[in-house]
Amino acid sequence: MAEMADANIEDAEQMNKIEAPSQTPETAADEAKPATEEQEEPENASETLYIQNLNDQVKLSYMKTTLTNLFRHYGKVLDVVAHRNVRMRGQAFVSFAHVDLARKALKEVQKFPLYGKPMQVSYAKTRSEAVVKTLSPEEFDEFHALRLKRKKRSRWDNPVRRKLRLKKEALATGAQPEAPAPTAKRPVVLMPDEYLPPNQILFVQNLPPDITKDALVAMFSRFENFYEVRMIPTKKDIAFVEYADEASATVAKDALHNFKLDGEAKIKVTYARK
DNA sequence: AGCACA
């Protein structure tokens, strides 16, 4: 346990040597510090991570769940906040109870390609409500006592909002299993098929089990730049269909996704995992 | 690019 912590600190220092922003001393005292001093963590570290470059095609609730699951590897996730308005889309705030957890998460998840886009992770500029609430309940209560006095039945305190808020609080403080220390350098998140990045290979699911390869070829070769259909002997309800390029695959995918083969169940056509 | 929640 102690050894692990030490190893992490070393890692953090090595990372800083490569990636830490250049120091800009603000006072003469800072400037006078010996240059031999060890690299320090950036001073802007926060319990909350600010994430940019998220795929805004992904439904917000889905994105929040994914982020919660992704980041719970590093400690209890207090809250995930994201909005879809113009200014805020593609961004999210993920809160932990300790800066150390955030630091480790930042380091390991940086550039992680979520839904096809590398996450850009930094620290939030201000403290999150969820963090204040857990780390300094008095401060939180004081703030809210004031608010409630001012706006008894405002748009932030009507029954609908209240229900939403309670749900959110349940999520923030809720019983998330204590996460074990991460073992892999990169976290493993299973991407839903629908959100996989483009691929010249398509993944076809929910095929009727008696479908023949010829039937599939007939169906998919109607689209330009078709290359081949591959089936798996043991799994008869799925197939892979390859095209010469992503654009061609995309045309076929869009045309055939949810297509009813026997007037029966719809087939599912998505990009294959790379 | 863009730092919210209260």
Q: Provide block-wise average pLDDT over 10 residues at a time, chain A (274 residues).
A: 31 30 35 43 86 95 95 96 96 97 96 95 96 88 73 49 50 42 53 81 94 95 95 92 94 94 89 90
User: Which nucleotide lies closest to A122 by the C1' atom and the CA atom?
Assistant: B3
Q: Is the CB of A156 under 7 A from strand B?
A: yes
CA of A274 to C1' of B6 (A): 43
How far apart CA A90 and CA A118 sit, in angstroms, is 11
Q: What's the rounded Cα separation, in Å, for the pair A113 and A221?
A: 32
pLDDT at A192: 74
CATH architecture under which domain A201-271 falls: 2-Layer Sandwich (3.30)
> Which contacts of A64-67 are long-range, i.e. CB under 8 A and separated by 24 or more positions?
A64/A92, A66/A114, A66/A115, A66/A189, A67/A92, A67/A94, A67/A114
Name the closest residue (CA) to the C1' of nucleotide B2.
A87
Residues 43-102 of A with CB under 7 A from strand B: 48, 50, 52-53, 56, 79, 81, 83, 86-91, 93, 95
pTM of this structure: 0.51
CATH of A48-133, one of 3.30.70.330, 3.40.50.300, 2.60.120.620, 3.40.50.720: 3.30.70.330
Q: What is the pLDDT of residue A148?
A: 65
Measured in angstroms, what separates residue A20's CA from nucleotide B5's C1'?
A: 29
| Shortest-distance nucleotide from A143 CA to C1' | B6
pLDDT value at residue A137:
86
Q: Say how far A96 CA is from B4 C1', in Å.
A: 15
Strand B proximity: list residues 115-134 of A with CB under 7 Å: 120, 122-130
CA distances from residue A52 to A89, A92, A94, A131 in whole angstroms, order as listed: 9, 7, 11, 20
CA gap A49, A82 in Å, rounded: 12
The answer to whether A95 and A77 are in contact (CB under 8 A) is: yes
Provide the pLDDT for residue A237.
94
Task: State the pLDDT at residue A151.
Answer: 55
State which residue has its Cα closest to the C1' atom of B1: A87
- Could you identify the residue whose CA is nearest to the C1' atom of nucleotide B4? A81
Structural domain spans, chain A: 48-133, 201-271
Residue with tokens 């980041």: A71
The number of beta carbons lying within 10 Å of the beta carbon of residue A252 is 22
Cα–Cα distance list, A181 to A140, A200, A241, A256 (Å): 30, 37, 39, 43
Phi (first) and psi of residue A102, to 5 degrees? -60, -40
Q: Give me the pLDDT at residue A41, please.
A: 54
Quick one: tokens of A97? Answer: 């109870």
Angle between helical axes of A246-256 and A213-220 (0-180°, round to 10): 110
Task: Please identify which residue in the block is written with the tokens 């992680």.
Answer: A112
Which positions of chain B lie under 7 Å from any protein Cβ? Answer: 1-6
Asked if the domains at A48-133 and A201-271 fall in one CATH topology, the answer is yes
